[in-house]
Structure 1
């Protein structure tokens, strides 16, 4: 870290400390003991909220002795609200001008539901369950003014960096769901949608660390499930956000919710651009000693033009109190254009009549690669409730997904010197017209009995993909491009999955157990039309999941979970299209890839007495894992990259998350993850091994000033990623931000700067094989300035009623290319 950064950090810390001291002047304490009015026993885990005017400003949970204390209260008139499930809520008017001890506060049991104001203070903000951590946003006073993205900074195991990227245990390998189902908007660009989503319409945020049997996917760090509010009145609300990032470009998105009687609608859309130039890209490859000399060096600058847009809407109709129909449509589209100009310096050793000679050649290369994506997903759900209890549900869902991802590569060479005449440089073009479709039908049933909740379901996923890839070589004789049949083909892939699952949850006083299993059959067929050849794979898997939670004293708990997950290869990795957009390198998919089975264990300790502390220990292992294999083919002078099922992976890691309110206006959040990874796999008959430490550490602190100002400082450090044949370099990030309510709770201006002390930063990936070493260096823009204007309008607080169960397809491996 630079000396200027250290000085600035110390100065800011001193300012915060001074403001903290001022904020605590002339403040008082309020305490008491909650008891049951009939049994006279202590009231454990009652939630106590302090309300001033119409706002809840502080909340606290009583301990196992019924004791509670609220500190740093300014002089004034307040109402104390006490509530818990199964008790009548109580409001006590209090004048604060000194320290107050209320003594014993008797609470009367009752069977009726709490009124609306008591629901806000009916339970602890954070709760540990066997397979997840639940953050109750409605119990947090700041949910009235913050977005869902801002609320996620408070949720254990989640972190939000200065660029507003959400991470779970320090990684982006997770799934975000809304009410238990995927959303096309969140899949494409989650941070933009979450930034504009008001937290007032969210009941709770679940971080599922041990996904239960109803989720297909394996290999995830976990699942983030956003549960929206269900009880809403008639009216509408909306949010309009405009923003600008330099470098980058402008963006905007709109969200509108309408509710009238039994009908509800949620409409949304957004767009944005990302344009940068002069990004330096360098590749260095050398043969190892003992092999014929070969070296490649290229360096140049890349220009990127990226545009994306999404839209959609969800309709909800309540036929009656027990029957609900919802329908959703999500179109999206965009493109990424990359133009690269590079200089190449290549040397190779060859045999010239028994004499080893070295030929050095140079040339310039201009390339343009354009990726496009466009598609729409359609979903319809029917949910039937039962009169005996509201959690007793039967849901049928159908989803259709249509997607197209064409790619074009255009590569030209000029200014060549001393190029081998037997391997001349030929200008070429490549087209890959790729498209896929997916249909899913699913039936879910849930029935909570006295102490046991039973869940069961059946599901069918029918996937089809097609890739028509062609390579055209420039022909001097015809002065045009001619099809190269050796690098062209039509490939189609069908993947049909049929599954059933069953899960049981047993709840006792201090213990909760959850266990289940999923049986799946997978049928895969790949066809090469040009060569009339076929690839066929069928397999069955029984996938168990089990977890339990023990509640301890003083708001503590311990959880232990095990899940076995299946991970299927994605369509991109199966597609044998020979992508040569980088001369000297070729990426080729593998139609023979198989699914991978992983075993995951997690032990978690949580303490949520004041602030929150969450510590977890994780161990997972898998055989036959999919690895990207790099091979240097000297005869063709290329590095060939292919995914293969050759790996054996093990990971042992720990994660810690600490969130603490230093004062009512100053909050501090610290989190970290430390993993040790072991990797090995056979490459061309030789055993490759790699191991090492990975992880991250980050902090976030925010301070609320008077007159609706807010300031934040955040930073993180990431250790190098460990791969089978190499590793990346380390990473750090630093951000300063602030916001101001121009119109309270309506119009907010925000601005931030990331990494102000450095304009560019190099991202390096080092790879080696038996006969080569290579390094790719990309110097991205590091310093960024961001500003936005956010306008909230309307009078509806909440969202439309949505189905409790819906389709969630997250079983395939995401492309790493």
Structure 2
């Protein structure tokens, strides 16, 4: 079951985590007693390059494992990747954005062996030629080039155990014959995502507490088919199809709720008890087709690239939310309310891109291009609320049915053009300057909303400049600077005006009035001997998009031990204040993030130990205030987040080679993130100790990984307002787990990989979830 509160805490917090790395500062190959040495991690122009080819660290791991251990990259939830100083990381393959949505991409990376990776490029500040949002960075996975014809592939199986058991398997194959190349992948698995929650909110007069568990079963099946054909020596035609399906039936929320209210007459507190028993059945499908044409126009590397793509995304979600009146001993008395929600979402997108790169003889490059995206989302939501009415003897006398349908249709057109100029002035100095101009036209219509909300139209144009330079002072010292401006459009689910109910008085509310936000990024990097680095980063977010917790008192009948309304001496029902908490998706002021990170990566004891240690400091400045629900106009006590915080981040990733033949490896990884202020309040510190043991044997690799050994990677957020309101969230996702995996490589390992083609709709896919 999707949990928007935790999503807000983790994925929209703008947290910066230190990089987690496991790499050799030098890598050697012995060829007839001659030792060759080359750099593994270095700075090139606008990107960092991590060379993982021929490294035993990669063998037997998944692509996701390698990415987590790449310098400047990290993952604290084992689901999302972050670049130091960035909110999100977009995955590119061979210079083209991966043709998958967010969920399927994670599963693909976790089920794809890493043996075929040549290097990983980390672009912390992408240029104008990239379609990225906000402060997103780019991870470009460069695959090995294999020249001979034939067939090869990988098979991988893994099994994990935390609170529940899960399993995954994948099969991939690559075939090349003359001008034709075909690659295919099929992967799937099943798991139950467990979570335990403690939610508290209120003030001195009234409060809510919800304690319980969420279990979310998932079955996944996905894959891709890529066909690439060389038309001539200078032109290629490619066709890509990606498919992903998820089934999440019988997801359960079981929370015990305590409502505490102050009675002025008795000068004491009165408590009511309920249970929230929610069941969800959901399934989603994502299919995309992309046609690519590439033409090389000269011998210097100039080329024309044209893409056309179609994306269809469907999600069907049905929820049954029940509020059960209970007693202090958690015994059920009777059902109070029942809310049925039918929440379908259908997204159709057509996209096209044209890019042209002109290489000139004087190390001057001109890049120009444009893109067009047309998207329609259809959300035909239905809500039915059943209120069960009882007599004084507890007998059911009536069921009141309230229906609230909402058909929301959203149409969006995006036009974009860019120009980038890049010049290598000397062997030491190079620079790039560019700009991107984007025009967005959107219209949202709702058949059942109030008249003022039935049509929401937004049009905005943005000029987004970009600048970077890189200066190699000498062989040991390198310095670079980059500036970029970006915008972040709301995801399609964020503007779909539905409520996701957690308890009777606690829910999240999406907002069709959310507008795009702007981000300005600056970064200064210094590297010494390609082993030591210092990164200074500053990001400014204007009209940031986030969740805001608004809470207020609403009056509800006081209930006796049998669940009946309590009356006073005059026969009137006593009404007590209850806290209503809404997590509203909206634009919430401005924010600044400043960070400094110092890192070292080096090998010791003849490469038996590879040490990566990083220490950083981050300073957050929040400036947001909200008192009105923008979706309804309801007035709340003001929620403010104008808190500054400074936090420390430490990461140490270590690989220990246990034998001379490089077949046994021990991994010891640790990270610590100090407490810091985010949008929902103060996020308490997080830490995790992860251990791994790996054995390489011919074409087989056996591995055991134990994550969060000390079980310290648990999210806690608390917030105290000057008006007396407080809010507390504790979420444990049982990240301590053990995974056992087996990987087998078969076939001709020299098969040339099929071209990976960036889909024209890729910029849209990240907004589907």
The yes-or-no answer on 1:183 pairing with 2:98 is: yes
Cα distance, 1:701 vs structure 2: 1.2
Alignment of 1:140-289 (within 5 A): 148-149=63-64, 151-152=66-67, 155-159=70-74, 166-169=81-84, 173-185=88-100, 187-188=102-103, 190=105, 192-194=107-109, 197=112, 199=114, 201-230=116-145, 232-247=147-162, 248-275=165-192, 279-288=195-204
One of 697, 702, 707 as aligned partner of 2:650: 697
One of 228, 242, 256 as aligned partner of 1:343: 256
Alignment CA distance shift 1:139-1:512 (3 Å): farther
- The number of equivalent residue pairs is 689
The yes-or-no answer on 1:738 pairing with 2:693 is: yes
Q: Which has the higher contact order (CA 8 A, sep 6+)?
A: 2
In the other structure, the counterpart of 1:643 is: 585
Q: Deviations over 1:351-398 (max 9, x none)?
A: 89xx98865322233211344321111111001112x31511001101
One of 431, 435, 439 as aligned partner of 2:350: 439
Alignment of 1:663-674 (within 5 A): 663-674=606-617
In the other structure, the counterpart of 2:9 is: none
Cα distance, 1:155 vs structure 2: 4.0
CA distance in 2: counterparts of 1:571 and 1:153, whole angstroms: 28
Alignment of 1:759-778 (within 5 A): 762-769=714-721, 770-778=723-731
CA distance in 2: counterparts of 1:384 and 1:391, whole angstroms: 10
Larger Cα Rg: Structure 1 or Structure 2? 1
Alignment of 1:325-340 (within 5 A): 325-336=237-248, 337-340=250-253
Q: Deviations over 1:98-146 (max 9, x none)?
A: xxxxxxxxxxxxxxxxxxxxxxx8x744442332112344486866787
CA distance in 2: counterparts of 1:80 and 1:767, whole angstroms: 58
Alignment CA distance shift 1:166-1:579 (3 Å): closer
Cα distance, 1:540 vs structure 2: 0.5
CA distance in 2: counterparts of 1:573 and 1:162, whole angstroms: 22
SS in structure 2 opposite 1:374?
strand
SS in structure 1 opposite 2:102?
helix
CA distance in 2: counterparts of 1:552 and 1:772, whole angstroms: 55
Alignment CA distance shift 1:815-1:412 (3 Å): same
CA distance in 2: counterparts of 1:740 and 1:140, whole angstroms: 14
Alignment CA distance shift 1:796-1:479 (3 Å): farther
Cα distance, 1:470 vs structure 2: 1.5
Which one is further off, 490-499 or 646-655?
Answer: 646-655
> 8 Å contact 2:101–2:766 — kept in the other structure?
no
CA distance in 2: counterparts of 1:580 and 1:153, whole angstroms: 34
In the other structure, the counterpart of 2:502 is: 581
> 8 Å contact 1:546–1:562 — kept in the other structure?
yes
Cα distance, 1:285 vs structure 2: 1.7
SS in structure 2 opposite 1:426?
strand
SS in structure 2 opposite 1:258?
strand
One of 25, 30, 35 as aligned partner of 1:51: 30
> 8 Å contact 1:166–1:172 — kept in the other structure?
no
Q: Deviations over 1:640-682 (max 9, x none)?
A: 1112223111111112332111122321112344210101122
One of 271, 286, 295 as aligned partner of 2:207: 295
Alignment CA distance shift 1:130-1:582 (3 Å): farther
CA distance in 2: counterparts of 1:479 and 1:260, whole angstroms: 75
Cα distance, 1:599 vs structure 2: 0.8
Cα distance, 1:49 vs structure 2: 6.3
Alignment of 1:745-756 (within 5 A): 746-756=699-709
Q: Deviations over 1:229-278 (max 9, x none)?
A: 4452101111111000012411111111111111111101211222266x
In the other structure, the counterpart of 1:405 is: 315
In the other structure, the counterpart of 1:4 is: none
> 8 Å contact 2:149–2:751 — kept in the other structure?
no
SS in structure 1 opposite 2:336?
coil
Alignment CA distance shift 1:482-1:490 (3 Å): farther
SS in structure 2 opposite 1:303?
strand
CA distance in 1: counterparts of 2:166 and 2:757, whole angstroms: 38
CA distance in 2: counterparts of 1:169 and 1:595, whole angstroms: 23
Which one is further off, 262-271 or 365-374?
Answer: 365-374
Alignment CA distance shift 1:163-1:407 (3 Å): closer
In the other structure, the counterpart of 1:369 is: 280
> 8 Å contact 2:93–2:140 — kept in the other structure?
yes
In the other structure, the counterpart of 1:661 is: 603
In the other structure, the counterpart of 2:632 is: none
> 8 Å contact 2:238–2:757 — kept in the other structure?
no
Alignment RMSD: 3.2
> 8 Å contact 1:258–1:264 — kept in the other structure?
yes
Structure 1 unmatched ranges of 5 or more: 1-46, 53-76, 82-120, 419-423
Q: Deviations over 1:539-563 (max 9, x none)?
A: 1101000000001223321000100
Cα distance, 1:593 vs structure 2: 1.1
One of 409, 418, 430 as aligned partner of 1:512: 430
CA distance in 2: counterparts of 1:639 and 1:627, whole angstroms: 16
Alignment CA distance shift 1:567-1:365 (3 Å): closer
> 8 Å contact 2:102–2:765 — kept in the other structure?
no
Cα distance, 1:198 vs structure 2: 5.0
> 8 Å contact 2:367–2:420 — kept in the other structure?
yes
Q: Deviations over 1:780-799 (max 9, x none)?
A: 32431110000111113354
Q: Deviations over 1:733-781 (max 9, x none)?
A: 1111111123x1x1111012223344x8642222344452121223332
CA distance in 1: counterparts of 2:447 and 2:112, whole angstroms: 46
SS in structure 2 opposite 1:296?
strand
CA distance in 2: counterparts of 1:717 and 1:711, whole angstroms: 21
In the other structure, the counterpart of 2:538 is: 619
> 8 Å contact 2:97–2:757 — kept in the other structure?
no
CA distance in 2: counterparts of 1:556 and 1:713, whole angstroms: 30
SS in structure 2 opposite 1:389?
coil
> 8 Å contact 2:227–2:754 — kept in the other structure?
no
> 8 Å contact 2:284–2:316 — kept in the other structure?
yes
CA distance in 2: counterparts of 1:614 and 1:755, whole angstroms: 28
SS in structure 2 opposite 1:188?
helix
Alignment CA distance shift 1:492-1:357 (3 Å): farther
> 8 Å contact 1:627–1:644 — kept in the other structure?
yes
The yes-or-no answer on 1:396 pairing with 2:303 is: no
> 8 Å contact 1:371–1:407 — kept in the other structure?
yes
CA distance in 2: counterparts of 1:481 and 1:402, whole angstroms: 40
Alignment CA distance shift 1:471-1:150 (3 Å): closer
> 8 Å contact 1:551–1:558 — kept in the other structure?
yes
Cα distance, 1:624 vs structure 2: 1.8
CA distance in 2: counterparts of 1:584 and 1:474, whole angstroms: 15
In the other structure, the counterpart of 1:414 is: 324
Q: Deviations over 1:459-517 (max 9, x none)?
A: 101111121112112265999987634x4211111111001000010002211010100
CA distance in 1: counterparts of 2:443 and 2:506, whole angstroms: 29
> 8 Å contact 2:695–2:702 — kept in the other structure?
yes
